[in-house]
Amino acid sequence: MAVSQKGKHRLAVFDVEGVLIPKNRYLFFEISRKLSFSQFLRMVFYGILYELGLISLKSALEKMFKVFKGFKVEEFLQNFRHIPLMPDVEKVFEELRGRGWKTALISSGLPTFLVQDLASKLKADYAFGLDLKTENGVATGEISGEVIEQHGKLLILKRILEKESLTAENCVVVVDDRNNAPMLLPGTLKIGYNPDFLVRVKVDYVVTGRLIEILPLISGEEPRRGALPSKNEVLRETIHACGFTVPILYSLVGQYAIALLISAVTFLYIASVVAMMDERHIPIISWITRHAATHAELYEFATAPIFFAFGILLTLLLFPTPAGSAAVAIFALGDSTAAIFGKIFGKTTLSFNKGKTLEGLVAGIFFSFLAASVYVNPLKALAGAATAMFVESLPLPISDNLIVPLTTGALLTIII
């Protein structure tokens, strides 16, 4: 697959974590192995505060990097080189380079020398990261740099464009989270790769499969529609749909047994993911995890299944029967069918969420209505289904695996 030489774009800018390497894997898995448990918890705590919007990125990073005081630069490099690239990264850069494109890597969460090391491997033209202060090759725990300031990435992008005598219209930006929002300039081709809620609203296209899917978009082609889901997607959505059976089991064995079962399955999932990132495997569990994961989730710690499990559990515990049971049925069957039908038949992208389609939304409402009708009358089933699928289609800062069943359960509790 080649990038068209007729396209007007000539600079491709990539965020690093979440696009080129697995999101949060370096700080929270690779390098953190050398930390004490209390130091690791401090890092996670500040990371959560940032994700919730309670502190700025700069403040979070400053506190997190203090933990690494005394680490050698060579330790950072060795652990960084252990991280696998996301699928297709090298091929994408090879294609762009072959067509005479300039490429830039800009990261707010990684030291510049690590970004430069990656840029050297990919033969990228520009590499920018934060400045990690060192003395005699040892980290002092202090950081600085333009990339951790509020609009630092934008200033860097503008300098690159000026140096290359290019305009925003000559630029493609591929990002995944809200920290990159300032770079999403009018006129740029904006692509969100497995993006968060804010990026989904601002970008021109959303890609949730392989990174190589950005190449047709860059060359001016329309996104492919009507593709059959992969085996991984079918297995993933089948597991999701099986959540429909949990309310039935709940009525047979009771809440304590279900709570224990869900907790045990969640623990096994977490263990399997940690094992896979360490290139180890747990029989059967690792096979299921690997074959149900998206391309991105194969290389990072995916939290969606955890939210899925506890979204179901909390809904059953917080809301009375039949409201809780209907909400779980709606969530399990509606979300999975929306994903499959949207993949196969989706043509009309939702303006407020580029990763969802109208066709998928309609299919989700229909099948979740059928699921809810097992527990409540048709009118209430329709109200719950429509509410759930509308909430699921929104670009929300909280996982839809948690917010959809809880919102639906609350609504059905009120109207029943």
DSSP assignment of 30-41, as one string?
IGGGGS-HHHHH
Element holding 61 (H helix, E strand):
helix 57-66
Can you give the pLDDT at residue 356? 87
Cα–Cα dist 105/119, whole Å: 7
Q: Under 8 Å CB-to-CB from 360, ≥6 apart: which residues?
A: 338, 339, 341, 342, 343, 345, 346
**Helix, strand, or coil (residue 289):** helix
CB 112 within 8 A of CB 22: no
Query: pLDDT class for 323, splitting at 50, 70, 90?
Result: very high
Residue 141 near residue 66, CB atoms below 8 Å: yes
- Which pairing describes strands 205-207 and 349-350: parallel, antiparallel, or unpaired? unpaired
Better-predicted residue by pLDDT, 1 or 136: 136
Q: Look-up: residue for tokens 């094992």? A: 275
| Residue 141 dihedral angles phi and psi, to the nearest 5° | 95, -5
Percent of the chain predicted with pLDDT > 90: 60
* Mean pLDDT confidence for 224-240: 79
Element (DSSP H or E) covering residue 241: helix 231-241
Q: What is the DSSP letter of 244?
A: G
Q: Tens digits of per-residue pLDDT, 52-106?
A: 778 888 999 999 999 999 999 999 999 999 888 988 999 999 999 998 999 999 9
> Model confidence over 92-104: pLDDT tens digits?
999 999 989 999 9
| Whole-number percent of the chain with pLDDT over 70 | 96
Burial of 356 (0-12, 13-18, 19+ CB in 10 A): buried
CA distance 82 to 252: 47
The answer to whether 172 and 211 are in contact (CB under 8 A) is no
Tokens of 278: 């360490």
Q: Where in the chain is the domain with CATH 3.40.50.1000?
A: 11-218
And the tokens for 415? 């109207």
Of 256, 373, 387, the residue nearest 325 (C-alpha): 373
Segment 395-416 shows an average pLDDT of 89
Question: Phi/psi of residue 190, each to 5°?
Answer: -110, 120
- In whole angstroms, give the CA distance from residue 316 to residue 250: 8
Q: Which CATH superfamily is domain 11-218 in?
A: HAD superfamily/HAD-like (3.40.50.1000)
